[in-house]
Amino acid sequence: MKIIDMHCDTISRIYQERRQGKHALLRSNFFHLDLEKMKKTGYLLQNFAIFLDIKQTANPYEEAKKQIALFQEEIQNNQDMIAPALSYSDILENEKQGKMSALMTLEEGEICERSLEKLEEFYDLGARMMTFTWNYPNGLGFPGEPAAAHLSQSQGLTSLGMEFLERMEELGIIPDVSHLSDAGIRDVCRLARKPFCASHSNARALCQRGRNLPDSLIRSIAEHGGVIGANYYGPFLSQIPDVFGRYYGYVKDIALHIRHISDVGGINCIGLGSDFDGIDNHLELKNCSLMDLLEEELKKIGFHESEIDKIFYQNVLAFYQELL
């Protein structure tokens, strides 16, 4: 089994733990994801998000740079197991050397503080993917729920957001439309000259949340050559809580979202975007070492081995081959 996961918040979680004076490492921890569990399971590549909540951060740019320094430190300290991926050739070379790959992403476009120069600096620091928003409106555009649930999904990218899209494509930073409003995603579909992704989003037809994608946008992303990473978070999988009132992330529901996205957009548009360490622990996939449970569930609902390989890593790898 090989795995590429398009989104986790493990670096940001380690950062927050350390700010509270706690011991936290990437190599081994009690979180959803660490290098030892990844290696055991067969991970080829993990996207590590630099995430922050702009409502809790006075200086997003400086805070992001501190997290990037932590990311670089942890990768350097574990170079026997993992190496950065700045290009597709890096992924191949790392695998050849028996190492996993780490691709750094940015989650929350306000990290750039509305500056194209800062966007370029983050590219130079190794960022290769970025969301326009998180859960709040910012200088680049408008999100879906929850924080902007009162806003219309008809509010999309700002004019600056459109400038950022153009510069991201020029630099080689992959636009990520997860967290963006429907209108914002339509703006990206209209303006993008290259494929783009939704790194951790599910199907709205199965779960009516603003963070999930309607069928029309699944088709549009697929038609643009993009990929969608299935999210493991319970509230984005089902609208029906369990007997304890929890929205639980069941493997069967992840598989059903993968089936729906594949049916709507084609088998080549679907990948994995766990959101590990950015979501709660109400998960059947308690951590990244249990991916065989999803593999077995996909087999149960009719996916062939070759299709599971596409879902688990080949689709995203082909996407990176084109864009990195």
Which pLDDT tens digit goes with each residue over 16-54? 999 999 999 999 999 999 999 999 999 999 999 999 999
Helix axes 315-323, 88-96, angle to 10 degrees: 130
d(CA 297, CA 252): 6
d(CA 147, CA 138): 12
Which pLDDT tens digit goes with each residue over 231-278?
999 999 999 898 888 999 999 999 999 999 999 999 999 999 999 999
d(CA 67, CA 12): 7
- Percentage of the chain exceeding pLDDT 70: 98
d(CA 103, CA 11): 12
Which amino acid is residue 80, in one-letter code? D
Residues 6+ apart with CB under 8 A from 144: 153, 179, 180, 181, 182, 209, 210, 211
pLDDT score, position 244: 86
For the chain, residues with pLDDT lower than 50 are 147-148
Instruction: Work out whether the CA dihedral 203, 204, 206, 207 comes out positive or negative.
Output: positive
For residue 20, give the DSSP letter. Answer: T
Residue 49 β-bridge partners: 105
pTM score of the predicted model: 0.97
Give me the residue label for tokens 């950015």. 278
Are 209 and 164 in contact by the 8 Å Cβ rule? The answer is no
